Amino acid sequence: MRTRTAVVYEHNKPVIVDDLELDEPKANEVLIRMAATGVCHSDLSIVNGTIYYDPPIAIGHEGAGVIEQVGEGVSYVNPGDNVVLSFVTFCGNCRMCQNNLVRLCEGFRAPRAHLLDGTCRLHNKSGQPILQMARIATMSEYTVVPEQSLVKIDAHYPLEKAVLVGCGVTTGVGAVLNTAKVEAGSSVAVIGTGGVGLNVIQGAVLASAERIIAIDLIENKLDFAKSFGATDLVNASTCDPVEAVLELTDGKYVDYAFEVIGYPKTIEQAYAMIRPGGTAVVIGACNQDVHISIPAQSIVMKEKRLIGSFYGSSSPRAAMPKLLKLYENGKLKLDELITQTYRLEQINDAFADMESGKNARGVILYDN
Ligand code: CXF
Ligand code: ZN
């Protein structure tokens, strides 16, 4: 069948919305009619090569849709089911999956961005195979994905809202509740208040943190941070954020700092602004060649901890329905995250808006 799909053909060039050929789902795969896809910085990281793939690659990793067709042997879903896609594929059997580390599944040998049999379902007019970001490629009217990338959700959740648990919400809220396990009354700093950072703030509110210091360079994003529950705002374009945190905490620094950008400088700042015994959590994905520099003695003498958080240390099939329940019960903001919707053809505008800090989250809606 034909599908319109956002494809990176060349790094640092506009993304092309191409007419592609999509093969039928093979065994243990499903065809999905996408309803919505969120626009995340990690998509842009594929465009600029920070997360490196040899093009062409179809992007998008925060998506929700409806099962259109199932391949042989699929048992988890039926046509008509609503799903959110997971950007990790999980086997359920490997030592990671069996030890509640599903997001670090190592059960599949297929190369990244390929289906699990090592081939591609998307091809362009010249017959060239197109990779699929995270094996899902949600910026596409239709996509074929492994059954092991699916999270079934209740039909009453609007897909254009539920889509946000595919990446931003699960990553941000999970980093606070699962990775750091922030205690009530804690002080928290968040460096980078984009779509994921705002969800770190939501997570800190859910954890009953007392102080939530939001740090960014863009005033508009700090306004969003305030509306999501930040107690203090720091514009790092006019001050040193470590000094600012020191001042705001009366010389004490914070219990937890979350880095949601993926720059060495901001990771080092996150580490610098935590108290002895405190924890800095890195969520932002750096280029794989980037190294950081931290004062090593403080790891011992001050028991400072620097840890990573991937997918909010969540198991997608357990975490996403719970987050949607919190939304339903008014405890989690999803509607407010979506500040602009786009058509797929507007993907490059959506990226520009994200970079300028215009949006909390931009979401592409499909009207097929
Ligand atoms: C990314 C990490 C790399 C794969 C796609 C998702 N995380 C969040 O945006
Ligand atoms: Zn993402």
Q: If you take atom 1 of ligand 1, which residue's CA is the nearest one?
A: 42
**Distance between Cα 311 and ligand 1 center (Å):** 8
Query: DSSP assignment, residue 350?
Result: H
Q: If you take atom 4 of ligand 1, which residue's CA is the nearest one?
A: 134
The residue assigned the tokens 């065994």 is 27
Question: Which of 8, 52, 57, 87 should be mutated for ligand 1, with most atoms under 8 A from CB?
Answer: 87
Question: Which of 51, 59, 61 should be mutated for ligand 1, with most atoms under 8 A from CB?
Answer: 61
Spell out the residues 6+ positions from residue 296 whose beta carbon is closer than 8 angstroms to its own. none
Dihedral, CA of residue 169, residue 173, residue 179 and residue 180, to nearest 10 = 150
Lining ligand 1 with CB less than 6 A are 40, 42, 51, 61, 87, 134, 167, 171, 285
CA distance 214 to 223: 10
**Distance between Cα 276 and ligand 2 center (Å):** 31
Q: Which amino acid is at 110?
A: A
Per-residue pLDDT, 289: 94
Using alpha carbons, list the distances in angstroms from residue 134 to 9, 146, 234, 327: 17, 11, 34, 26
Query: DSSP assignment, residue 345?
Result: G
Residue 26, Ramachandran bin (φ over 0: left; ψ between -120 and 50: alpha; else beta): beta
* pLDDT tens for the chain, residues 1 to 368: 999 999 999 999 999 999 999 999 999 999 999 999 999 999 999 999 999 999 999 999 999 999 999 999 999 999 999 999 999 999 999 999 999 999 999 999 999 999 999 999 999 999 999 999 999 999 999 999 999 999 999 999 999 999 999 999 999 999 999 999 999 999 999 999 999 999 999 999 999 999 999 999 999 999 999 999 999 999 999 999 999 999 999 999 999 999 999 999 999 999 999 999 999 999 999 999 999 999 999 999 999 999 999 999 999 999 999 999 999 999 999 999 999 999 999 999 999 999 999 999 999 999 85
Bridge partner list, 7: 16, 58
CA distance 89 to 87: 7
Per-residue pLDDT, 255: 99
Q: Which phi and psi angles does 11 have, rounded to 5°?
A: -60, 145
Look at strands 2-8 and 63-70 and give their pairing: unpaired
Residue 291 exposed, middle or buried by CB count within 10 Å (0-12, 13-18, 19+)? exposed
Ligand at shortest distance from the CA of 136: 1
Closest CA to 221 of 335, 39, 327, 355: 355
Q: Which amino acid is at 242?
A: V
Ligand 1, closest atom to CA 171? Answer: 8
- Direct distance between the N- and C-terminal alpha carbons of the chain, in angstroms, rounded to an integer: 14
CA distance 264 to 191: 12
Tokens of 357: 């800090």
Ligand at shortest distance from the CA of 51: 1
**Distance between Cα 248 and ligand 2 center (Å):** 31
CB 86 within 8 A of CB 39: no
Ligand 1, closest atom to CA 285? Answer: 2
Q: What is the pLDDT of residues 60-103, one digit of tens each?
A: 999 999 999 999 999 999 999 999 999 999 999 999 999 999 99
